[in-house]
Amino acid sequence: MKTDLPVPGADEIAHSEALAALIRNEIAAHGPMPFSRYMELCLYAPGLGYYSAGKTKFGASGDFVTAPELGDLFARAIVGTLAPTLRELGDRADLLELGGGSGRFAAAALRELATTDALPHRYLVLEPSADLRERQRAHVETALTPDLAARVAWLDRPPQDAWHGVVFANEVLDALPTTRFTLKDGEVFEECVTVRDGAFAREDRPADTLVGGAVRHVERYLDAPFADGYRSEILPQLPYWMPAVIGSLERGVALFVDYGYPRSEFYLPERSDGTLVCHYRHRGHGDPFHRPGLQDITAFVDFTAVAEAGTNAGFELVGYAPQGQFLLSSGLPALIEEGAVLGEAERMRIVNEAKRLTLPGEMGERFQAIAFARGVSEVPAGLRAFDLSRRL
């Protein structure tokens, strides 16, 4: 347990202990669990996981701040770049947001799309957390006029029938339960979680074919074997997750924004303990066993793996660019200009928000955007302008 982090209240400690007991019981019944299963339970166990339970997660009073929580600029610029695709597809085109967070992105996006005459037929949200769905619903109902709020609908699973439109996901890929692996004597091992002396502890077990195969695929791509003792993350489920989520999009664009690297940087030899980060009350640290259920657990994204999964799902890769350059070439400067007429305080707030989104030391370079398209000619222009997909 990390001792330099804020101490939660008694209720929160009881909540975390209930989740820890559930995880311990599963380990007692089935043996050490893959780290990905541990992360899945920590984040999504019904009623107890970090995203499934009622704690405030996003924003100043939560544990971390995402781009839509800074203000409306991010959502306005993102839907500005997706609007030409929606217009091309006509009035039956839908917008599907994956992982709707607090609902702030949806509200700002719909307001912007209404003023630019590019409203989607429906604004669909695929959100696994029942608690977040309720928060999203409450937010869109208070922040939007009834006619706009009525366009929003929540899905229990990705669309099954062929559809036209756009998909957007901010910070969803980093929240997918990640597998951790290591190498011993040249063999691939999967990091599992066990209980030792009453506490959660790491235990490496020989990897199964899926995990071993995924690691060997990366080694072949990098043209070098991982050194013994090297430890990192991988998403062996991504080649299946991507077509499950965007496969039925017959015509349209799918845009993902997240923190990560191209594969050659993700698996740098010096990054020998991976990219896992936990967030608890705005402090980032590396201990996933700290207060399960009360902290976020994430891993950076291997964007080469995302590109492979998207193109293997039958899409064309539109482009890949750092968030800062992407937003600056996707209408953000015009939105900042608009703020100039709103008075000094609001103008300063907007400039500060734009800086957080775009400066290299803030979100501008750590976050990247990648988009895929199928059957449309209108694609996010800012990704073409600054395309770095040759680095993938």
Helix (H) or strand (E) holding 97: strand 94-98
Site string for ligand SAM, 148-177 (x = CB under 6 A): ----------------------xxx--xx-
Q: Which residue has the tokens 């793996």?
A: 305
Rg (CA), the chain: 21
* Comparison of 126 and 350: residue with beta carbon closer to ligand SAM: 126
* CA-angle at 234, arms to 231 and 240, nearest 5°: 165
* Contact indicator for 336, 56 with CB cutoff of 8 Å: no
Q: Is 98 in the site for ligand SAM (CB under 6 A)?
A: yes
Q: Whose CA is closest to 125, among 105, 147, 145, 143?
A: 105
Give the number of residues in contact with ligand SAM, rule: CB under 6 A: 19
The token duo for 106 is 């949806």
Is 58 a binding residue for ligand SAM by CB under 6 A? The answer is: yes
SS3 281: coil
- 204 makes contact with ligand SAM (CB under 6 A): no
Are the C-beta atoms of 93 and 86 separated by less than 8 Å? yes
Distance, C-alpha 104 to centroid of its chain: 15
Does residue 353 belong to the site contacting ligand SAM (CB under 6 A)? no
Q: Which of 19, 33, 126, 370 binds ligand SAM (CB under 6 A)?
A: 126
Minimum distance of ligand SAM from residue 191's CB (angstroms): 20
Could you tell me which stretch among 23-31, 93-101, 204-212, 370-378 binds ligand SAM (CB under 6 A)?
93-101
C-alpha dist (Å) from residue 334 to 20, 142, 329, 331, 350? 49, 27, 10, 5, 12
> According to the binding rule CB under 6 A, does residue 66 interact with ligand SAM?
yes
- Between 103 and 331, name the residue whose CB sits nearer to ligand SAM: 103
Q: In this chain, which of 32, 34, 68, 339 binds ligand SAM, going by CB under 6 A?
A: 68
Asked if 129 interacts with ligand SAM (CB under 6 A), we say: yes
Q: Which of 80, 128, 252, 319 binds ligand SAM (CB under 6 A)?
A: 128
- Chain contacts with ligand SAM (rule: CB under 6 A): 51, 58, 66, 68-69, 98-101, 126-129, 132, 170-172, 175-176
